[in-house]
Structure 1
Amino acid sequence: MKLTVLGASGGVGRQLVTHALADGHQVTAALRSPEKLTERHERLTVVRADPLDAASVKTVVDGADAVLSGIGQAGRHDPLRPASTSARAVVEAMTATGVRRLVVVSAGPLNRTGAGQSFLSHRVFGPLLWAVLKDVYTDLERMESVLRDSRLDWTAVRPPRLLDKPGEGRYRHAVEAGPAGATITRADVARAMLDFLPDTRTYGHAVGISR
Protein backbone atom coordinates (compact mmCIF):
# COMPACT_ATOMS: atom_id res chain seq x y z
CA MET A 1 0.00 0.00 0.00
CA LYS A 2 0.96 3.63 -0.44
CA LEU A 3 0.84 5.14 3.04
CA THR A 4 1.25 8.71 4.24
CA VAL A 5 2.45 9.12 7.83
CA LEU A 6 1.80 12.49 9.47
CA GLY A 7 3.82 13.52 12.49
CA ALA A 8 6.56 11.13 11.38
CA SER A 9 9.20 12.59 13.70
CA GLY A 10 7.24 11.89 16.89
CA GLY A 11 7.47 8.80 19.07
CA VAL A 12 4.55 6.95 17.47
CA GLY A 13 5.19 8.46 14.04
CA ARG A 14 8.74 7.09 13.85
CA GLN A 15 7.49 3.65 14.80
CA LEU A 16 4.79 3.87 12.14
CA VAL A 17 7.41 4.58 9.49
CA THR A 18 9.66 1.73 10.66
CA HIS A 19 6.87 -0.85 10.89
CA ALA A 20 5.23 0.20 7.62
CA LEU A 21 8.51 -0.21 5.75
CA ALA A 22 9.07 -3.59 7.41
CA ASP A 23 5.61 -4.64 6.19
CA GLY A 24 6.59 -3.77 2.62
CA HIS A 25 4.57 -0.58 2.21
CA GLN A 26 5.59 2.48 0.23
CA VAL A 27 5.76 5.31 2.76
CA THR A 28 5.58 9.09 2.52
CA ALA A 29 6.71 10.57 5.82
CA ALA A 30 5.38 14.10 6.28
CA LEU A 31 6.77 16.43 8.94
CA ARG A 32 7.55 20.08 9.52
CA SER A 33 11.29 19.46 9.84
CA PRO A 34 12.38 16.61 7.52
CA GLU A 35 15.89 16.64 8.98
CA LYS A 36 14.47 15.20 12.21
CA LEU A 37 13.80 11.87 10.50
CA THR A 38 17.12 10.18 9.79
CA GLU A 39 15.76 6.86 8.53
CA ARG A 40 16.44 6.15 4.86
CA HIS A 41 14.92 3.47 2.66
CA GLU A 42 14.21 2.96 -1.04
CA ARG A 43 10.47 2.87 -0.29
CA LEU A 44 10.54 5.95 1.95
CA THR A 45 9.96 9.53 0.79
CA VAL A 46 10.47 12.25 3.39
CA VAL A 47 8.69 15.54 2.68
CA ARG A 48 8.09 18.83 4.44
CA ALA A 49 4.46 19.52 5.32
CA ASP A 50 2.46 21.43 7.90
CA PRO A 51 -0.06 19.00 9.43
CA LEU A 52 -2.19 21.92 10.63
CA ASP A 53 -2.71 23.32 7.12
CA ALA A 54 -5.17 21.62 4.76
CA ALA A 55 -3.43 22.79 1.57
CA SER A 56 -0.12 21.44 2.81
CA VAL A 57 -1.64 18.13 3.89
CA LYS A 58 -3.37 17.78 0.53
CA THR A 59 -0.02 17.65 -1.27
CA VAL A 60 1.16 14.66 0.78
CA VAL A 61 -2.04 12.58 0.95
CA ASP A 62 -2.98 12.84 -2.72
CA GLY A 63 -2.54 9.39 -4.26
CA ALA A 64 -2.21 7.56 -0.94
CA ASP A 65 -4.16 4.40 -0.16
CA ALA A 66 -4.37 5.35 3.51
CA VAL A 67 -3.16 7.94 6.00
CA LEU A 68 -1.80 7.34 9.50
CA SER A 69 -1.34 10.17 11.97
CA GLY A 70 1.00 10.11 14.94
CA ILE A 71 -0.13 13.60 15.95
CA GLY A 72 -1.75 13.07 19.32
CA GLN A 73 -1.03 14.40 22.77
CA ALA A 74 0.75 17.74 22.85
CA GLY A 75 2.01 19.80 25.75
CA ARG A 76 -0.43 21.18 28.30
CA HIS A 77 -1.98 24.53 27.38
CA ASP A 78 -0.76 24.27 23.77
CA PRO A 79 -2.68 27.11 22.05
CA LEU A 80 -2.47 25.43 18.64
CA ARG A 81 -4.64 22.49 19.75
CA PRO A 82 -2.65 20.30 17.34
CA ALA A 83 -4.78 17.16 17.43
CA SER A 84 -8.11 18.79 16.56
CA THR A 85 -6.60 21.41 14.24
CA SER A 86 -4.72 18.72 12.33
CA ALA A 87 -7.84 16.54 12.18
CA ARG A 88 -9.77 19.32 10.46
CA ALA A 89 -6.93 19.85 7.97
CA VAL A 90 -6.60 16.12 7.29
CA VAL A 91 -10.34 15.58 6.82
CA GLU A 92 -10.51 18.50 4.40
CA ALA A 93 -7.46 17.30 2.46
CA MET A 94 -8.55 13.66 2.29
CA THR A 95 -12.08 14.58 1.26
CA ALA A 96 -10.71 16.77 -1.53
CA THR A 97 -8.38 14.06 -2.82
CA GLY A 98 -10.73 11.10 -2.41
CA VAL A 99 -8.57 9.24 0.11
CA ARG A 100 -10.82 7.51 2.64
CA ARG A 101 -8.86 5.42 5.14
CA LEU A 102 -7.44 7.21 8.18
CA VAL A 103 -6.00 5.85 11.44
CA VAL A 104 -5.00 8.28 14.21
CA VAL A 105 -3.62 7.97 17.72
CA SER A 106 -5.78 9.28 20.57
CA ALA A 107 -5.71 8.42 24.30
CA GLY A 108 -7.23 5.80 26.60
CA PRO A 109 -8.71 8.26 29.13
CA LEU A 110 -11.18 9.40 26.46
CA ASN A 111 -13.13 6.24 27.28
CA ARG A 112 -15.63 8.09 29.49
CA THR A 113 -18.04 5.14 29.80
CA GLY A 114 -15.49 2.95 31.56
CA ALA A 115 -16.34 0.02 29.27
CA GLY A 116 -13.72 -2.70 29.69
CA GLN A 117 -11.89 -0.82 32.45
CA SER A 118 -11.37 -1.66 36.10
CA PHE A 119 -13.13 0.32 38.82
CA LEU A 120 -9.86 2.03 39.80
CA SER A 121 -9.07 3.01 36.22
CA HIS A 122 -12.51 4.44 35.58
CA ARG A 123 -13.34 6.02 38.94
CA VAL A 124 -9.93 6.98 40.32
CA PHE A 125 -7.08 7.19 37.82
CA GLY A 126 -9.20 8.44 34.92
CA PRO A 127 -10.54 11.51 36.77
CA LEU A 128 -7.06 12.27 38.12
CA LEU A 129 -5.57 12.23 34.63
CA TRP A 130 -8.36 14.45 33.34
CA ALA A 131 -7.73 16.93 36.16
CA VAL A 132 -4.05 17.19 35.23
CA LEU A 133 -4.31 16.92 31.44
CA LYS A 134 -7.70 18.46 30.76
CA ASP A 135 -6.49 20.66 27.87
CA VAL A 136 -4.75 17.74 26.17
CA TYR A 137 -7.71 15.37 26.43
CA THR A 138 -10.21 18.05 25.44
CA ASP A 139 -8.20 18.62 22.27
CA LEU A 140 -8.24 14.88 21.54
CA GLU A 141 -11.99 14.73 22.16
CA ARG A 142 -12.44 17.51 19.63
CA MET A 143 -10.26 15.56 17.22
CA GLU A 144 -12.46 12.49 17.55
CA SER A 145 -15.57 14.65 17.13
CA VAL A 146 -14.17 16.01 13.86
CA LEU A 147 -13.61 12.44 12.66
CA ARG A 148 -17.10 11.31 13.68
CA ASP A 149 -18.59 14.17 11.68
CA SER A 150 -16.60 13.23 8.58
CA ARG A 151 -17.36 10.69 5.88
CA LEU A 152 -13.95 9.05 6.11
CA ASP A 153 -13.27 5.44 7.08
CA TRP A 154 -11.48 6.47 10.25
CA THR A 155 -10.21 4.72 13.35
CA ALA A 156 -8.98 6.44 16.53
CA VAL A 157 -6.61 4.24 18.53
CA ARG A 158 -6.73 4.92 22.29
CA PRO A 159 -3.65 3.71 24.17
CA PRO A 160 -2.88 4.08 27.89
CA ARG A 161 0.48 5.46 29.08
CA LEU A 162 3.10 5.17 26.33
CA LEU A 163 6.52 3.62 26.89
CA ASP A 164 9.73 4.05 24.91
CA LYS A 165 10.72 0.40 25.08
CA PRO A 166 11.11 -2.34 22.46
CA GLY A 167 7.75 -3.57 21.24
CA GLU A 168 6.40 -6.88 22.50
CA GLY A 169 4.66 -7.61 19.22
CA ARG A 170 1.33 -8.17 20.94
CA TYR A 171 -1.53 -6.11 22.32
CA ARG A 172 -5.16 -6.38 23.36
CA HIS A 173 -7.87 -4.24 21.85
CA ALA A 174 -11.59 -3.54 22.10
CA VAL A 175 -13.85 -1.45 19.88
CA GLU A 176 -15.41 1.49 21.76
CA ALA A 177 -13.99 0.12 25.01
CA GLY A 178 -10.72 0.09 26.92
CA PRO A 179 -9.10 -3.25 27.76
CA ALA A 180 -7.58 -3.25 31.25
CA GLY A 181 -3.94 -2.27 31.20
CA ALA A 182 -1.94 0.78 32.24
CA THR A 183 0.83 0.86 29.63
CA ILE A 184 1.86 -0.04 26.09
CA THR A 185 4.96 0.65 24.01
CA ARG A 186 4.88 3.15 21.18
CA ALA A 187 6.11 0.37 18.90
CA ASP A 188 3.06 -1.76 19.72
CA VAL A 189 0.73 1.21 19.18
CA ALA A 190 2.19 1.58 15.69
CA ARG A 191 1.83 -2.16 15.14
CA ALA A 192 -1.84 -1.98 16.09
CA MET A 193 -2.51 1.04 13.88
CA LEU A 194 -1.11 -0.77 10.86
CA ASP A 195 -2.97 -3.97 11.72
CA PHE A 196 -6.25 -2.03 11.89
CA LEU A 197 -5.85 -0.55 8.39
CA PRO A 198 -7.74 -3.34 6.56
CA ASP A 199 -10.06 -4.18 9.48
CA THR A 200 -13.48 -2.82 8.54
CA ARG A 201 -14.77 -3.60 12.04
CA THR A 202 -12.76 -0.61 13.28
CA TYR A 203 -14.13 1.84 10.71
CA GLY A 204 -15.86 4.78 12.36
CA HIS A 205 -14.82 3.74 15.86
CA ALA A 206 -12.43 4.46 18.68
CA VAL A 207 -10.46 1.35 19.61
CA GLY A 208 -8.89 0.93 23.03
CA ILE A 209 -5.58 -0.93 23.19
CA SER A 210 -3.20 -2.06 25.93
CA ARG A 211 -0.42 -4.59 26.44
Structure 2
Amino acid sequence: MKLTVFGATGGTGKEIVRQALDAGHEVTAVVRDPARFPVTGDRLEVFRADLTDPQALRPAVAGRDAVLSGLGARSRKDAGIAARLTRTVLGALEAEGVRRLVVVSAAPVGPEAAGDGFVDRAARGIVSAVLKDIYADLREMEAELARSSTEWTSVRPPRLQDKPLTGSYRKVVGGFPVRGRFLGRADVAHAMLAAVGDPATVKQGVGVAY
Protein backbone atom coordinates (compact mmCIF):
# COMPACT_ATOMS: atom_id res chain seq x y z
CA MET A 1 0.00 0.00 0.00
CA LYS A 2 0.89 3.66 -0.31
CA LEU A 3 0.68 5.25 3.14
CA THR A 4 1.20 8.75 4.51
CA VAL A 5 2.13 9.27 8.16
CA PHE A 6 1.64 12.52 10.06
CA GLY A 7 3.38 13.13 13.38
CA ALA A 8 6.18 10.94 12.07
CA THR A 9 8.84 12.40 14.39
CA GLY A 10 6.91 11.37 17.53
CA GLY A 11 7.41 8.09 19.37
CA THR A 12 4.36 6.40 17.87
CA GLY A 13 4.81 8.04 14.47
CA LYS A 14 8.35 6.74 14.04
CA GLU A 15 7.14 3.24 14.91
CA ILE A 16 4.36 3.45 12.33
CA VAL A 17 6.88 4.41 9.65
CA ARG A 18 9.37 1.69 10.61
CA GLN A 19 6.78 -1.07 10.77
CA ALA A 20 5.10 0.03 7.55
CA LEU A 21 8.44 -0.06 5.72
CA ASP A 22 9.25 -3.46 7.21
CA ALA A 23 5.89 -4.71 5.89
CA GLY A 24 6.80 -3.57 2.37
CA HIS A 25 4.60 -0.49 2.11
CA GLU A 26 5.54 2.76 0.39
CA VAL A 27 5.58 5.48 3.05
CA THR A 28 5.48 9.27 2.96
CA ALA A 29 6.48 10.72 6.34
CA VAL A 30 5.24 14.29 6.80
CA VAL A 31 7.52 16.30 9.09
CA ARG A 32 8.24 19.91 9.91
CA ASP A 33 11.95 19.33 10.50
CA PRO A 34 13.59 16.49 8.51
CA ALA A 35 16.70 16.79 10.69
CA ARG A 36 14.68 15.37 13.61
CA PHE A 37 13.58 12.31 11.63
CA PRO A 38 16.03 9.39 11.91
CA VAL A 39 14.22 6.73 9.87
CA THR A 40 15.55 5.78 6.42
CA GLY A 41 14.44 3.33 3.77
CA ASP A 42 14.24 2.69 0.03
CA ARG A 43 10.44 3.08 -0.02
CA LEU A 44 10.42 6.17 2.20
CA GLU A 45 9.71 9.74 1.14
CA VAL A 46 10.26 12.48 3.73
CA PHE A 47 7.88 15.34 2.99
CA ARG A 48 8.53 18.67 4.69
CA ALA A 49 5.36 20.69 5.18
CA ASP A 50 3.58 23.39 7.14
CA LEU A 51 0.89 21.48 9.00
CA THR A 52 -1.37 24.52 9.24
CA ASP A 53 -2.08 24.70 5.48
CA PRO A 54 -4.31 22.04 3.87
CA GLN A 55 -3.19 23.07 0.39
CA ALA A 56 0.46 22.45 1.30
CA LEU A 57 -0.44 18.94 2.48
CA ARG A 58 -2.35 17.85 -0.61
CA PRO A 59 0.71 16.49 -2.49
CA ALA A 60 1.61 14.41 0.57
CA VAL A 61 -1.73 12.57 0.56
CA ALA A 62 -2.68 12.51 -3.13
CA GLY A 63 -3.12 8.98 -4.44
CA ARG A 64 -2.53 7.32 -1.06
CA ASP A 65 -4.40 4.23 0.06
CA ALA A 66 -4.52 5.39 3.67
CA VAL A 67 -3.23 8.06 6.04
CA LEU A 68 -2.14 7.46 9.64
CA SER A 69 -1.68 10.19 12.22
CA GLY A 70 0.36 10.21 15.40
CA LEU A 71 -0.38 13.90 15.95
CA GLY A 72 -1.12 14.99 19.49
CA ALA A 73 -0.02 17.11 22.42
CA ARG A 74 3.25 16.08 24.06
CA SER A 75 2.52 18.17 27.16
CA ARG A 76 -0.37 20.10 28.70
CA LYS A 77 0.86 23.34 27.16
CA ASP A 78 0.33 21.81 23.70
CA ALA A 79 -3.36 21.06 24.32
CA GLY A 80 -5.39 22.02 21.27
CA ILE A 81 -2.86 20.85 18.72
CA ALA A 82 -4.51 17.50 17.95
CA ALA A 83 -7.86 18.95 16.88
CA ARG A 84 -6.29 21.89 15.06
CA LEU A 85 -3.80 19.87 13.02
CA THR A 86 -6.23 17.01 12.37
CA ARG A 87 -8.65 19.57 10.94
CA THR A 88 -5.94 20.59 8.48
CA VAL A 89 -5.20 16.98 7.56
CA LEU A 90 -8.90 16.31 6.99
CA GLY A 91 -9.05 19.29 4.63
CA ALA A 92 -6.21 17.85 2.55
CA LEU A 93 -7.74 14.34 2.50
CA GLU A 94 -11.16 15.57 1.46
CA ALA A 95 -9.67 17.76 -1.27
CA GLU A 96 -7.80 14.76 -2.71
CA GLY A 97 -10.58 12.22 -2.21
CA VAL A 98 -8.54 10.04 0.19
CA ARG A 99 -10.93 8.11 2.41
CA ARG A 100 -9.04 5.99 4.95
CA LEU A 101 -7.65 7.68 8.06
CA VAL A 102 -6.38 6.10 11.29
CA VAL A 103 -5.44 8.33 14.23
CA VAL A 104 -4.13 7.84 17.75
CA SER A 105 -6.28 9.15 20.60
CA ALA A 106 -6.40 8.01 24.26
CA ALA A 107 -8.35 5.61 26.45
CA PRO A 108 -10.13 8.26 28.60
CA VAL A 109 -11.76 9.69 25.47
CA GLY A 110 -13.78 6.50 25.01
CA PRO A 111 -16.11 4.49 27.25
CA GLU A 112 -14.88 2.78 30.39
CA ALA A 113 -14.27 -0.93 30.23
CA ALA A 114 -17.22 -2.96 31.42
CA GLY A 115 -16.15 -4.79 34.56
CA ASP A 116 -13.35 -2.47 35.68
CA GLY A 117 -12.96 -2.35 39.44
CA PHE A 118 -12.76 0.62 41.79
CA VAL A 119 -8.97 1.02 41.51
CA ASP A 120 -9.02 1.27 37.73
CA ARG A 121 -11.98 3.64 37.71
CA ALA A 122 -10.38 5.85 40.35
CA ALA A 123 -7.03 5.95 38.57
CA ARG A 124 -8.72 6.83 35.31
CA GLY A 125 -10.66 9.63 37.02
CA ILE A 126 -7.48 11.14 38.48
CA VAL A 127 -5.61 11.01 35.18
CA SER A 128 -8.58 12.49 33.34
CA ALA A 129 -8.73 15.40 35.79
CA VAL A 130 -5.00 16.13 35.64
CA LEU A 131 -4.85 15.96 31.85
CA LYS A 132 -8.34 17.30 31.15
CA ASP A 133 -7.15 19.87 28.57
CA ILE A 134 -5.37 17.19 26.55
CA TYR A 135 -8.39 14.90 26.60
CA ALA A 136 -10.72 17.77 25.69
CA ASP A 137 -8.48 18.35 22.69
CA LEU A 138 -8.70 14.69 21.68
CA ARG A 139 -12.48 14.68 22.10
CA GLU A 140 -12.70 17.65 19.75
CA MET A 141 -10.37 15.85 17.34
CA GLU A 142 -12.70 12.84 17.34
CA ALA A 143 -15.68 15.14 16.81
CA GLU A 144 -13.90 16.53 13.75
CA LEU A 145 -13.45 12.99 12.47
CA ALA A 146 -17.14 12.21 12.98
CA ARG A 147 -18.12 15.31 11.00
CA SER A 148 -15.81 14.42 8.12
CA SER A 149 -16.42 12.28 5.04
CA THR A 150 -13.46 10.01 5.83
CA GLU A 151 -13.54 6.36 6.84
CA TRP A 152 -11.79 7.04 10.12
CA THR A 153 -10.63 4.92 13.04
CA SER A 154 -9.47 6.28 16.40
CA VAL A 155 -7.09 3.97 18.27
CA ARG A 156 -7.28 4.64 22.03
CA PRO A 157 -4.39 3.34 24.13
CA PRO A 158 -3.93 3.82 27.90
CA ARG A 159 -0.63 4.95 29.42
CA LEU A 160 2.14 4.67 26.83
CA GLN A 161 5.45 2.92 27.36
CA ASP A 162 8.68 2.66 25.39
CA LYS A 163 8.77 -1.10 24.92
CA PRO A 164 9.69 -3.43 22.04
CA LEU A 165 7.00 -4.58 19.65
CA THR A 166 5.13 -7.65 20.87
CA GLY A 167 2.11 -7.76 18.58
CA SER A 168 0.29 -9.27 21.56
CA TYR A 169 -2.35 -7.01 23.11
CA ARG A 170 -6.11 -6.84 23.58
CA LYS A 171 -8.45 -4.88 21.32
CA VAL A 172 -12.08 -3.86 21.80
CA VAL A 173 -13.92 -2.10 18.98
CA GLY A 174 -16.23 0.51 20.49
CA GLY A 175 -14.96 -0.13 24.02
CA PHE A 176 -11.87 -0.80 26.08
CA PRO A 177 -10.15 -3.92 27.50
CA VAL A 178 -10.86 -4.66 31.18
CA ARG A 179 -7.96 -3.58 33.42
CA GLY A 180 -6.06 -2.24 30.43
CA ARG A 181 -3.42 0.00 31.97
CA PHE A 182 -0.43 0.14 29.62
CA LEU A 183 0.62 -0.29 26.01
CA GLY A 184 3.96 0.18 24.27
CA ARG A 185 4.18 2.76 21.50
CA ALA A 186 5.39 0.07 19.10
CA ASP A 187 2.23 -1.94 19.75
CA VAL A 188 0.06 1.16 19.31
CA ALA A 189 1.65 1.57 15.88
CA HIS A 190 1.02 -2.12 15.18
CA ALA A 191 -2.66 -1.73 16.10
CA MET A 192 -3.00 1.35 13.88
CA LEU A 193 -1.51 -0.40 10.87
CA ALA A 194 -3.71 -3.43 11.49
CA ALA A 195 -6.78 -1.18 11.58
CA VAL A 196 -6.10 0.18 8.09
CA GLY A 197 -7.38 -3.00 6.46
CA ASP A 198 -10.01 -3.92 9.05
CA PRO A 199 -13.53 -2.81 7.98
CA ALA A 200 -14.89 -3.52 11.48
CA THR A 201 -12.93 -0.51 12.79
CA VAL A 202 -14.29 2.04 10.30
CA LYS A 203 -15.95 5.01 12.02
CA GLN A 204 -15.12 3.43 15.39
CA GLY A 205 -12.97 4.05 18.43
CA VAL A 206 -10.79 1.04 19.25
CA GLY A 207 -9.51 0.47 22.78
CA VAL A 208 -6.13 -1.29 22.92
CA ALA A 209 -4.07 -2.43 25.92
CA TYR A 210 -1.97 -5.32 27.24
TM-score by length of 2: 0.95
Residue deviations 1:171-190 (CA, integer Å, cap 9, x gap): 11111101021101000000
Match of 2:198 in 1: 199
Q: 1:169 aligns with which of 167, 188, 197?
A: 167
Unaligned stretches of 5+ in structure 2?
A: none
Mapped to 1, the partners of 2:90 and 2:56 lie a distance apart of 12
Q: Does 1:83 align with 2:100?
A: no
1-side partners of 2:77 and 2:123: how far apart?
Answer: 21
Q: How far has the Cα of 1:116 moved from its partner?
A: 3.5
Q: TM-score, normalised by structure 1?
A: 0.94
Counterparts of 1:117 and 1:189 in 2: how far apart (Å)? Answer: 23
2:106 match: 107
**Paired residues, number:** 209
The structure-2 alpha-carbon separation of the partners of 1:183 and 1:117, relative to structure 1 and needing over 3 Å to count, comes to farther
Which of 127, 148, 151 is the matching residue for 1:150? 148
**Structure 2 letter corresponding to 1:9:** T
Cα distance in 2, alignment partners of residues 125 and 8 from structure 1: 30
1:11-30 → structure 2 map (5 Å cutoff): 11-30=11-30
After the TM superposition, which of the residue ranges 52-61 and 149-158 deviates more from structure 2?
52-61
Q: Does the residue aligned with 1:157 lie in a helix, a strand or coil? A: strand
> What residue in structure 1 maps to residue 6 of structure 2?
6
1:51-82 Cα deviation digits (max 9, x unpaired): 33312222211121110001123310326x11
For residues 15 and 90 of structure 1, the distance between their equivalents in structure 2, rounded to whole angstroms, comes to 20
In 2, Cα distance between equivalents of 1:167 and 1:52? 32
**Does the 8 A contact of 1:53 with 1:86 survive in 2?**
no
Q: Distance in 2 between matches of 1:71 and 1:140?
A: 10
Q: Name stretches of at least 5 consecutive residues in structure 1 with no aligned partner.
A: none
Q: What's the % identity of the aligned pairs?
A: 46
1:72 aligns with 2:69: no
Could you say what the CA RMSD is over the residues aligned between the two structures, in angstroms? Answer: 1.4
Q: Distance in 1 between matches of 2:124 and 2:51?
A: 29
Q: Does 2:25 correspond to 1:50?
A: no
**2 CA distance for matches of 1:52 and 1:190?**
24
